[in-house]
A and B are shown apart, each in its own frame.
Chain A
């Protein structure tokens, strides 16, 4: 598979203090790649830097085209979309308006195309269809996550970056969201998934990176990482005994 996203030596610093050490990673077209690690390891910082929200050093390219000099909007136009940890919805506007705004850059395609895109998103997230007239601020946590993902998908991204999609959600809803992530991959959207819920992430990902103190300390196909005892012990945060009890 060809590389869709290529990141070379990306580094982020706050006030001269490094938050992400020079990091390289790739996401294949149509693949799911996950970045796992403890709280404060620099996962969200990495995604925000990739989206252009935070200033960073290093090279980022999508499909071979360098984007590191572009602002957030420019990267969005090149097909990178981010669903941030805080979702960043338009809370005082309706669900449908939120989704329509996801196609702001494609508005020249006209009403018919827009209606079609909206129906596809409602097909993916039937809950949103039921709530289409409701204000986004009144949605539950799971619905907010769905809306944030739906809004990002309205812009037809090539790469969807998800920051802690399971954060604060009940297991049943997490399962739903991860199922949709797999569906997206099958529909040809590449996914870069940052998760604290390492087990769930590794289960659906093709490849994984483990971040610690802002640096990649381990990487590999997710099956291999899942079996790695160091991961189980250190990054999944439980001892072997507990893992065994769980298994």
Chain B
């Protein structure tokens, strides 16, 4: 049974629920709330489970949606269908503002910032006449389509669950798209993603706004279901509960969101019944259980309950993807580097880290179609030099020219756009993605599709071309068989080769390889050398850092030797090898 078919069956089952004869209307009400909560939790899946960020302000976004329609319909007589885009616009704008302030900061400032926003907003809702203070706004009109009035729970049920179904599909589409890969790369691959032209700040903002928009729609529906709003459902506790749903269900998958919303809602309903009777007093005692459940889930099943359920259903086949050829992918649009100047020229490059000179006035050049090796003992500053060239960190002084143009200090995204691709000494693949998805990240700059195209699947032609290109590059490095394996299931040496395929996906002019042969066996090294020679034959220039002397000796046209951040020698391999200073430095000079 395929996963798609199962999803369709599940949806059909959901839509049939109100038709069950004799179903108490109370259950419909509960299901309506589960649907509304699941929408918000779905946003948290994108934000937290996939993007690795967390917000304690989702209830506030629900509130934006609800209050927008409440005010616009009751005071200005706008049609509810007009207030839907208005609600999304308001919420999206507010999310953007909040995002600008907090998203660039490291992980924990976003949740803390959203706590502050949520608390502040609650008091604003409750104290301003514009929001009718703590009394709230009532008399919100029901939704209507022609003569159908969605005035009772059963009719709203269809609207809510159909909306949720659309959101689930949209979210799955988004996550599978080019933009989705960028969001998924936020967790564990920021530096690599930036090095392939992904604007990670933008990806973060996108995930944040997307989650806020789902919450806004939930709020809009809520307002028309309740026909009244007041500040309480949008306070911090509600935001916390949304996060609880995501954690309990499992923030890693859209189904976890539904599961979590369902479980938490049902359990709360039961506890609100039992606990006050048990304790002989009124109050929100269910928070005790929720708190303990939250901590216990984090301690025992950090990925939530869904993965454990999904494991039971391992007979469901995942929707596979074929990577058949699908037309050529456009090359990365960029000005070709000028032919006259050397391809890469580094002059007096210097990097100082807190008083420590890591790279000390190093100069060298790489010509077209040349393989240059950068060698030297551990800690000589080779990887730092790579980071400076590719814009991962700015040089303290010195010049870097690419095709005659100064590129020192440019961000790594801009450097990638020029056609400089690299691999990393410490492999930087996105652990949650398959091999081919990781490789496809390398073609990010060669695609155009945005979030909307991804959600609506209008990007399919381009996606097929991107994946065909990724498959082609994987085949080129000899790992075509591994395409659909999880990236982390490969041996470390093979992961390095995957990085080379990803770099080739950028359609680079210059390839920077940081220890490509480390962890490879003898035969694999020979194959790698063969591949690099072939690439050189196709006109690619390569700069590589390597420890294996035999490997560089046979492969490179020229060697640059570094020690203690300084260039020690430069020349063809034979000359360098005979240089006693080099041998001394490279092998350790303790005599």
Contacts and interface: CB of A to CB of B under 8 A. Distances in A.
B383 to A, nearest CB: 11
A17 B580 contact: no
B580 A39 contact: no
Interface residues of B, number: 33
Contacts, number: 90
Given A171-B590, A213-B519, A196 B490 contact: no
B340 interface: no
A116 B548 CA distance: 46
Contacts of B293: none
Contacts of A236: 587
B488 A245 contact: no
A245 B590 contact: no
Nearest to A238: B549
Given A16-B489, A39-B378, A213-B521, A166 B588 contact: yes
Given A39-B378, A170-B564, A17 B489 contact: yes
Given A15-B431, A19-B492, A199 B588 contact: yes
B589 interface: yes
B378 A196 contact: yes
Dominant secondary structure of chain B at its interface with chain A: loop
B590 A17 contact: no
A183 to B, nearest CB: 16
A174 B587 contact: no
Interface string A209-234: 00001000000000000000000001
Contacts of A199: 587-588, 590
A38 to B, nearest CB: 6
Interface string A133-167: 00001100100000000000000000000001011
A167 B548 contact: no
A40 B515 contact: yes
Contact of A237 (B488, B491, B550): B550
Contacts of B587: 197-199, 236-238, 246
B104 interface: no
Contact of A38 (B379, B431, B547, B590): B547
Nearest to B578: A245
A146 B13 CA distance: 69
Contacts of B577: 238-239, 242
Contacts of A237: 547-550, 586-587
Contacts of B549: 237-238
Interface residues of A, number: 36
Contact of B488 (A15, A238, A242, A246): A15
A167 B376 CA distance: 12
A240 B112 CA distance: 62
Given A19-B492, A175-B590, A236-B587, A196 B377 contact: yes
Contact of B379 (A40, A167, A238): A167
B583 interface: yes
B191 interface: no
Interface in A159-216: 164, 166-168, 170-171, 174-175, 178, 196-200, 203, 213
A17 B583 contact: no
Interface in B471-520: 488-493, 515, 518-519
Contacts of B515: 39-40
B69 to A, nearest CB: 47
Interface of B: 354-356, 377-380, 431, 488-493, 515, 518-519, 521, 547-550, 564, 577-578, 580, 583-584, 586-590
Given A166-B588, A171-B584, 14 more contacts: A15-B489, A16-B488, A18-B491, A164-B378, A167-B379, A168-B564, A174-B590, A199-B590, A203-B590, A213-B521, A237-B587, A239-B550, A245-B578, A246-B587
5 contacts: A17-B490, A197-B377, A234-B550, A238-B549, A238-B577
Q: Which 4 A-B pairs have the closest CB atoms?
A: A168-B379, A197-B588, A40-B518, A171-B589
